[in-house]
Amino acid sequence: MTYLLALDQGTSSARSILFDEHGHTVSSAQKELTQIYPQPGWVEHDAQEIWRIQLATAQEALAKVGVAAREVRAIGITNQRETTVVWNRKTGLPIHNAIVWQDRRGEPACAALRARDLADTIRAKTGLLVDAYFSATKLQWLLDTVPGARELASRGELAFGTIDSWLIWQLTGGEVHATDVSNASRTMLFNVHTNQWDAELLAALDIPTSLLPAVQPSASLFGTLQPVLLGHPIAIGGVAGDQQSALFGQACFAPGMAKNTYGTGCFMLMHTGTRFETSGNGLITTSAAQTTPTPEFALEGSVFVGGAVVQWLRDGLHAIEASHQVQTLAQSVPDAGGVMVVPAFTGLGAPYWKPDARGTITGLTRGTTLAHIARAALDSIAFQSAALLLAMARDAAQGGGAPLTELRVDGGACVNDLLMQIQADLLGIAVVRPAVTETTALGAAYLAGLTTGVYKSTGELSALWRAERRFEPSISRDQAAQRMAHWEHAVRQTVL
């Protein structure tokens, strides 16, 4: 049997999943990651903790089934995107906690970029809107705020990376400082047309080029694992940001195919092939995972708070003791009773892009219970995702593309049948859950398998994809439109 090991470093945890060559899960291990909130709107992670627990899960996943490292053909890495780490090349130590993608401290710097009329230039080159979500202003903040950082950077002594780069550095013992195109495209510093760091954007943000990792196709050799870590050297053959990796793992290789990942946030991507399309409906254009040097693209919409709203019900309101209990609580009422939850805890992402929005609960009456709020919280995940897909559908129609006929889903919350049915009802198309829902990790494994010859083509990967359940719409389009109108009204009430 041929094995592939996927390292899946997410926002709330680190996981390692061992797959066989047929894409079946053989073993997995997971450890939670400490969330650090220095002040409102700021979110950090300990980069050293990320490395420690990621390695520990890899060791555990192999040990659980008695698979030796020499039996693993390759390692694939997938990671939370935009999260920014800067470390000292000599000591290997981070100069500060990692600044997480959810963090909003870069908004003043973004406002300055907009004031300098750079927004159109940035969008044309990177496909991105100017927003603190992306890595550039997080990196700028670190250089400007950490004592001595700019001086060290000017001497070439610091390295910047998203989490994939940090893990590659650690896995190879500091021999490789690299990233892939999908992660580079999330920095707001990368020209997605040329697949190169952009000199004009680096100058605009005063970012030294010496900080930056080399950029490679997602399916390529990123170095070799130090034997001391798992007992044998293993090729690192695939790297992709979590959402592009999930698109790949869902076998969405053709233009017009779309997936939605229900994790801490929700992320919907539609492949557009080699065609760079600028959205007229609040979406961004991003690099898809690439198996060759030829640029490929996807339209993307990001929901900042998806599954995290369930964590809020658990940890903030204490409405449930464990996340899996939310479905039972929500189903104890027939609907949300007019309650709307808009979980804009860190602003609203696509298609609204309202960084100053804050969470609201509206429609409360004396008859409102925790069950109604739980139902409304689940509804909010589906409403936000529906707004994204409707925006994609408008973009596709304006660009002459074919209408979407189904949405492939993955991520932790997609196991919630009630949520998936609500989603199908709002969208008016089938929502399809695959047999293997860990498609983010699977995409990284597939990329590594392509690099090392386990698979010959993406056509071979398409043949491995299987559906587990289809959720068909059960309400009329008029009812769905009415529900979406109520949601949009609630969104308008979120800005103070």
- Once rounded to an integer, what is the mean pLDDT over residues 56-60? 97
Which stretch of 150-159, 175-184, 194-203, 252-261 has the lowest confidence by average pLDDT? 252-261
Report the distance separating Cα 204 and Cα 211, nearest Å: 15
> Taking the domains of the chain in order of start, what are their residue ranges?
3-241
Give tens-digit pLDDT for 214-254: 999 999 999 999 999 999 999 999 999 999 999 999 999 98
Q: Is the pLDDT of residue 179 over 80?
A: yes
Model confidence pLDDT, tens digit, residues 101-154: 989 999 999 999 999 999 999 999 999 989 898 999 999 999 999 999 999 999
**Averaged pLDDT of the chain:** 93
How do strand 3-9 and strand 72-79 relate by DSSP bridges?
parallel
Q: How large a percentage of the chain has pLDDT more than 90?
A: 77
For residue range 458-478, list pLDDT tens digits in order: 999 999 999 999 999 999 999
User: Can you give the pTM of this predicted structure?
Assistant: 0.86
pLDDT of 178 above 80: yes
Burial 170-198 (b: 16+ CB within 10 A, else e): bbbebebbbbbbbbbbbbbbbbbeebebb
Domain 3-241 has CATH 3.30.420.40: yes
CA nearest 282: which of 269, 268, 300? 300
